[in-house]
Amino acid sequence: MSVETVQSTPESLLMGMKDDIPFDERWDRMKPVIQRLLSLEDVPREEWHQLFWDVFASIQWDPDGSERLQTALTTLVCERFKKIRLALEEIKEKDSSNYLELMEHYRREWDDFESQLAYIPEPFRALEIEFLERTDEELSIEFLLLLEWKFMFRSFESELRAGAKHLIYEERCGNTEYKHDARVQALKMTYVHFGRKQLISTSSPAKGLELKWDQFYYKDRRDFYVKRVADKLAEEPTAIEYMSFALDVYNFERKMTKQYIAEASFKKSQDELLEVLVNEPAASELILTSIDSIVNALDKEALRIAFILMRPDVDKSRALRKAVNQYVIKKGTERLKACSLTDGDAAVSCVLKLYEETDMLIEYAFMSHFKFTTERDRGFNELLNSADIFGEENKFPEMLATHVDGLLRKKALCRKYNEQEIEERLFGIINLLKYIDSKDLFMRHHKLHLTRRLVLNVSNDLQLEENFVDGLRAIGMPSEYVNKLQRMFQDIKLSEGLSKDVKAMLKKDSINVKVLSAGAWVRGLSRFPIQLPHQVEDSLNSIESYYKEQHTGRKLSFHPLLSHGTMTFESKVGKYELDVTAVQMAVLSCWNRRANSELTIQELCLGSLLPESDLKKTLTSLTMNPKLKIQLVLTRPQVTKVAKEFTAGMTFRVNRAFALIKSGKAATRGKVSLIGRLPLTAEKASKKEDDEIFQLRTLRVQEAALKVLKARRRVDAATLSSELTELLKSQFLPTMKMIKEQLEWIIEQGFAERDPKAKEIFVYKA
């Protein structure tokens, strides 16, 4: 059947076309057109347009037109549906058990009716509008059609559902002849239309019918799979075998449900299916008892299946997440205890590998679900701050900093990895740093290593260095630390231009100048005196004068502990280039005019102007350098242990037989670095370093506590401790003992007091 639909006719035209045709006469003209529409027969365009006018005119010019039209239309629809009912009853009476023929006839009739719902209501929109204006109630022709269909449908509902049950059963049993059967879909769409668009209230029979179809489908499916699950469990499958079976069922029903259940009910339908497959006690126990072993085996496919099956169940999903958390803690502890913690690179590599494993596991098996990521993070936080593994003073931050130094330093650990692998490891380390409580320790050691790399020009890739610092900022490292690191890079870049100018001014290509911001690099300049070769001393004076001319008002000071150079040494064997620190240069220069002399510590102190303690450290690097098979400076008597054995009566002389050994032979030429690690001011004895860290943390707690007190004015102890910890967590986690001690100190200093009426309340004093 074909018609051309028209939404409306211009009101100005209609208002001027009043006619006096009685309703009965007008209905006699409308009735055959509507009957042909209901019978799916073709309607000429003129008659279709005339139907719009007749409906409007009946309502507009006849006082009782709307009621009479509604009654006549309902009667006509009932007559049409009566014919359909009679045809269905005839099939039903012929063979009451042959539901499939009944369903096939119903499907054809429903398909026709469903298409009619799209256009039959169009000519009667004026009737709907008039009814709404007159009664303030909404009248839907579509609803009237569905309501009459529902009255007819109820006579055959049980038979149609029995047929649908049979067809769905055949499809579940693998009979492809009934796959996505149109007869079942017609029945489903009947229920969907009954409750569609809330044409009547949600408590209405129509909505109830839609829910009734869902309940029928769920119950039928539950009955089917309860038996299938019992049969499968009777085979005593492994957990993986059962989960594979359950996933196959889940995927099969997922496709099937999309055909037979409304989209709004789809999620609920799948959740109910998983309850049947997973919540059966025997199935649930089988899966849960195997989760730990599956996680330990890193069986990604099995865990992905488990995640899909267990996700809707809160308790089972929690058990799966807990297994991931315990895997991180147990596996990490086992691996770290298996490797020597004295080998920091091995420990860091062990943790990085564990992180990579769990990251890939969560991405694939758990689809990067945030709850599993959170459990992974909790596991790593507990592992990397464990006193049982790393001791009370956590050494892991220092291990991380040392490993980063190896990756970014030339001719070190970076040789083991290509550029991409280095970037991946640095990214992994940034992720690990999120779990470290003592972030300030890492930043302290990282800054020392970075200082050495930049000063000695041994950084593997400056861009990589800056990217790493950007990563530190991204994970919430304290901004004061990160800003200083970025200032260090800025100083190095600015110094390149200054160094070119100085070379041009001095007409020497052998000098490189770095002007460093004291606040960013070191906490104070080294004040001890030093005597360098006169060529170097003269150049330093010229550089300082030139800098002051270029930058008025700035102060420039020479820092020997951050300086280094190259000396040429000629022995009886050959001529060698020695990379040395400024302090080593000062000591070696003492023999420039007395090459064969044996000098005492007192004479060397006088010649180099170094303090005795620093002189002994320097002599250790020259007399017992692990890089040299033949030492550069010899002692009398010979010392082979530590600098503490140097006494006032000992003498030191340059080894005139010094040589570099290459391939087992003495080379006549070569270059060697005696620098090792720059003896930065920040380096102190272990106990002093610990005391310094403790003092710094004490000051940070005082500062944070005063900041909270000043902002709050009045605050209870619990809130103060909580906010103070929140302020400091990016650096370290203060202990309750430290917090209490510093609060007492603040009270003693008069910055705050306890409320006399409530001792747990602190009051800020301006």
Ranges in the chain, pLDDT < 70: 1-19, 96-97, 135-139, 196-211, 312, 412-414, 522-528, 640-644, 678-693, 730-732, 766
Amino acid at site 552 = T
26: which 2 tokens?
């007008």
pLDDT value of position 425: 93
Angle between helical axes of 99-116 and 141-153 (0-180°, round to 10): 170
> What residues does 762 pair with on adjacent strands?
715, 754
Instruction: Say which CATH superfamily domain 561-673 falls into.
Output: Cullin; Chain C, Domain 2 (3.30.230.130)
With contact defined as beta carbons under 8 Å apart, do 184 and 167 qualify?
A: yes
- Superfamily the domain 290-392 falls into: Cullin Repeats (1.20.1310.10)
In the chain the first and final C-alpha atoms are separated, in Å, by 90
The pLDDT of residue 730 is 66
d(CA 461, CA 454): 10
* pLDDT value, residue 203: 47
pLDDT of residue 469: 93
Q: Identify which of 162, 37, 169, 160 has the alpha carbon closest to the alpha carbon of residue 107.
A: 160
11-218 CATH choice from 3.40.190.170, 1.20.1310.10, 1.10.3210.10, 3.20.20.80? 1.20.1310.10
Q: Compute how many other C-beta atoms are within 10 angstroms of the C-beta atom of residue 361.
A: 20
Q: What are phi and psi of 655, to 5 degrees?
A: -80, 105
Residue with tokens 């790393």, as numbered in its chain = 390
Pairing state between β 575-581 and 669-673: parallel
Cis peptide before 637 (omega within 30 of 0): yes
Token digits of residue 609: 């102007």
Q: How far is residue 215 from each of residues 83, 218, 480, 655, measured CA to CA in Å? A: 30, 5, 63, 97
CA-CA distance, 80 to 285, in Å (whole number)? 58
CATH 3.30.230.130 domain range(s) in the chain: 494-558, 561-673
Please report the pLDDT score of residue 333 as a whole number.
93
Residues 280 and 393: their CA atoms lie apart, in Å, by 50
Give CATH 1.10.10.10 domain extents, the chain: 686-764
pTM score of the predicted model: 0.72
Residue 718 C-alpha from the chain's centroid: 31
Per CATH, the architecture of 686-764 is what?
A: Orthogonal Bundle (1.10)
What's the pLDDT at 16?
42
CATH of domain 494-558: 3.30.230.130
Rg (CA), the chain: 44
Residue matched to tokens 């040429």: 568
CA 658 to chain CA centroid, Å, is: 58
pLDDT digit string, tens, across residues 193-213: 887 655 434 444 444 455 577
CA 84 to chain centre: 60
pLDDT in tens, 664-722: 888 889 998 888 776 665 344 345 545 666 787 788 888 888 888 888 888 888 888 88
- Alpha helices (H) along 518-589: 518-521, 534-550, 582-588
* Measured distance CA(690)–CA(673) in Å, rounded: 31
Instruction: Assess contact for 301 and 239: CB atoms under 8 A.
Output: no
- Residue bearing tokens 């130094």: 405
Residues 6+ positions from 95 with CB-CB distance below 8 Å: 101
Partnered with residue 667 across adjacent β-strands are 660
Tokens 């899966």 label which residue?
Answer: 287
Please give the Cα distance from 372 to 361 (Å, whole number): 10
